[in-house]
Chains A and B, each alone.
Chain A
Amino acid sequence: MSLDEKTVRKVARLANIEIADEDIERIGTELSGILAWVEQLSEVDTDNVEPLANVVNIELPLRKDEVTDGDCADKVLANAPEETQGFFVVPKIVEQES
């Protein structure tokens, strides 16, 4: 199994990582190699096995639904690449109809 160009581009889009055209083949080969290697799990009989998500059986605790933190906008914004008047600034997101 080898990932074709279309699949590599799709995965890159899902991962939100821009990749250069000249890297597509290399990345496709690397990803294919890893996927072929993990494919060996298909040998394992997992019928009637429950997936394991929580390894130590800790019951997720509940707490009262009340504010325990906050009122620190300056701290939240302190590392923003761009901020103004208490907001994060991002490039324009409203698309123009052409």
Chain B
Amino acid sequence: MSELTHLTIDEALTGLKNKDFTAVELTQAHISAVENARTLNAFIVETPEIALKQAKESDKRYAAGEARPLDGIPFANKDLFCTDGVQTTAASKILEGFVPRYESTVSQNLFNDGAVMLGKANLDQFAMGSSNTSSAYGNVVNPWKRSDGSNAELVPGGSSGGSAAAVAARITMGATATDTGGSIRQPAAFCGIAGIKPTYGRCSRWGIVAFASSLDTPGPLARTVKDNALLLASMAGHDPKDSTSANRDVPDFASAMTGDVKGLKIGIPKEFKLDGMPEEIEKLWEQGIAWLKEAGAEIVDISLPHTKYALPTYYIIAPAEASSNLARYDGVRYGHRSSEGANLDEMYSKTRAEGFGDEVKRRVMIGAYVLSAGYYDAYYIKAQKVRRLILQDFEKAYETCDAILTPTAPSAAFAIGENEDDPIKMYLNDVFTVTANLAGIPAISVPAGLDAQGLPLGLQIIGKAWDEEMVFRVGGVIEEAAQFSAMPKGLTQKAA
């Protein structure tokens, strides 16, 4: 039944409705695929019993003619989403053994629509990272390999690396993910799949382990743009339990994919042309422009003058919010507690020293520094002001265009261990994605081509706030033009 794991969500829903196969068969095929792909380390916890139980319920609803929008569709749940009765760790030792007694709104929404949970996907610790090498539960391996025969293990990107690797390896049909600076889109690009960061406020953050609350945005990962639209429609919606969740109707995102971009104005920001950008990335961007032109869109040059300040702004705001959010890990109410510590203060500081990974400590300390007396205005308030200028750049650009086209990431997937010598080198991975987080606007990464090493590259479409429909519409046209059909090498061999 290996072919079942190669279907898109859209195709699988049709197959289930037509009774070509059952939800249990579909789920079982994916459970076996997960077991056969454990070398990727994409899951921290597998939940086959839950998946089969949910699939049986889906089959009952199909039989009764009461199928829900995602009934029987298996998904991987990023281990940042709290799951009632299933360990949730944020890939950190400090939450090892934490079993929430509540369900995140987004995963509950997916369950309500009939989706089937295969397990909890690995990630960078507390979603801090671009390589999935900061997980306390081991690195995730990208299923793609360079074509030079070196067989080097590559990173899947991060922070949603387990989610992206699992989707690319055809061991799940879709996944939940979160994007604070690029954590959906960069792994999507590295793994040759699609992923959308919706508008801030579109999906509830309730029940998701918090990193930087003004930036954290839940969203889906899947192999096609339409599958992203189907998942997002179920994940999104107003939630009174998140005060920043928008009280807006959720559009039918899939029907926005008309295939027609005639007359649309697509902005090309000159500030995204970086010195030293790999030629292949620039070529792919040119190709994307040509595809949209051929489809009848008008290309306009735009300027986002504060782009170069986006990453430094992010690396003040995100650590500041993280240092505040992560103060809750004190060894008292849940998670790890140090067995040393003679008094309460020592217990706190030892618990946090033992529980947090190096990158988490680094960011919490940077955050504590920029928020400390005497530095608050110079760093934190300054960054919030530059953040407004970045938002205004977009507002001005959208006076002359409907959507913006850029590359997703400045490189293809790199080898595990690369970019580890200097934290800033790793941070630069988010150079094209982070502005959309600071501005709160939606952006999708669509697989668009391969580099000379046979590794996938993505193009990013950025839209106006609340205009995911435009992002899906343009993304669909890029996807159609790119006809991206390549698969990770090991996988094609296995399938054949």
Q: What is the interface of chain A, defined by CB distance below 8 A to chain B?
A: 10-19, 27, 30-31, 33-35, 37-42, 44, 46, 49-56, 58, 60-61, 63, 72, 75-76, 78-82, 88, 90-93
Q: Mark B338-379, 1 if CB is under 8 A from A, else 0.
A: 000111111111101100100001101111110010000001
Taking CB atoms, residues of chain B closer than 8 Å to A11 are: 365, 368-369, 372
Taking CB atoms, residues of chain A closer than 8 Å to B99 are: 78-79
A53 vs B368: C-alpha distance in the bound complex, in angstroms? 18
Q: A16-B352, A18-B353 are in contact. Are A81 and B331 (CB under 8 A)?
A: yes
One of A16, A46, A63, A91 near B385 (C-beta < 8 A): A46
Taking CB atoms, residues of chain A closer than 8 Å to B383 are: 38, 41
Contact between chains at A79 and B333 (CB < 8 Å)? yes
One of A19, A63, A76, A78 near B240 (C-beta < 8 A): A63
Q: A11-B369, A16-B352 are in contact. Are A41 and B386 (CB under 8 A)?
A: yes
Contact between chains at B200 and A55 (CB < 8 Å)? yes
One of B200, B313, B332, B367 near A81 (C-beta < 8 A): B332
One of A17, A53, A63, A93 near B384 (C-beta < 8 A): A53
A38 vs B391: C-alpha distance in the bound complex, in angstroms? 19
Q: What are 28 inter-chain pairs, A to B, with CB distance below 8 A?
A: A12-B365, A14-B372, A15-B352, A17-B349, A17-B361, A30-B423, A31-B365, A34-B315, A38-B383, A40-B309, A41-B313, A46-B382, A46-B386, A49-B389, A50-B385, A51-B387, A52-B391, A55-B200, A55-B439, A56-B199, A56-B200, A58-B201, A58-B246, A76-B333, A79-B97, A79-B100, A91-B344, A92-B343
Taking CB atoms, residues of chain B closer than 8 Å to A10 are: 372
A39 vs B366: C-alpha distance in the bound complex, in angstroms? 13
Q: Does B494 make an interface contact (CB < 8 A)?
A: no
Instruction: Tell me, rounded to whole Å, the shortest Cβ–Cβ distance linking A27 to chain B.
Output: 7
Contact between chains at A41 and B309 (CB < 8 Å)? yes
A52 vs B200: C-alpha distance in the bound complex, in angstroms? 14
Contact between chains at B382 and A41 (CB < 8 Å)? yes
Who on chain A is nearest to B330 by CB? A16
Contact between chains at A78 and B386 (CB < 8 Å)? no
Q: Does B14 make an interface contact (CB < 8 A)?
A: no
- What DSSP secondary structure best describes chain B's contact surface? helix
Contact between chains at B312 and A41 (CB < 8 Å)? yes
Taking CB atoms, residues of chain A closer than 8 Å to B335 are: 79, 81
Contact between chains at A15 and B365 (CB < 8 Å)? yes
A76 vs B334: C-alpha distance in the bound complex, in angstroms? 9
A18 vs B201: C-alpha distance in the bound complex, in angstroms? 36
Contact between chains at A34 and B353 (CB < 8 Å)? no
A37 vs B199: C-alpha distance in the bound complex, in angstroms? 28
A5 vs B368: C-alpha distance in the bound complex, in angstroms? 16
Taking CB atoms, residues of chain B closer than 8 Å to A79 are: 97-101, 333-335
Instruction: Tell me, rounded to whole Å, the shortest Cβ–Cβ distance linking A79 to chain B.
Output: 4
One of B334, B342, B391, B422 near A33 (C-beta < 8 A): B422
